[in-house]
Amino acid sequence: MMTDYRCRVSEDELAHDRAQVEITAEDEREAAREDIELLALDINEAVFQLLRNKDWQPDSDDIESAETLYNCLRWHMTPAQREAV
């Protein structure tokens, strides 16, 4: 004899669960913007901490990395935004 241990869930419960976990494209965009905002704050803080350290000497790799990040971000800007920075 085989015993079925699966839980029975009504259609209403399933619909309710799906509605609670459904992530919309707008939710994803908002979360991505929040992630970028937090990263920007962390990057800014890291740069200022490094600059406050008189012993830190950026090398060519550090400068190239900063330029790459800057250029990647500028790529997403409008021409008017690019002129402003």
Alpha carbon separation from 26 to 21, 22, 31, 79 (Å, rounded): 14, 11, 9, 26
Q: Is 74 helix (H, G, I), strand (E, B) or coil?
A: helix
pLDDT of residue 72: 95
Domain boundaries, the chain: 11-54, 57-85
Average pLDDT, the chain: 88
pLDDT, residue 19, reads: 61
- Enter the pTM of the model: 0.64
CA 2 to mean position of chain CA atoms: 48
Output the tens digit of pLDDT for each of the chain's 85 residues: 566 666 776 777 776 666 667 888 999 999 999 999 999 999 999 999 999 999 999 999 999 999 999 999 999 999 999 999 8
Structure tokens given for 39: 């990263």
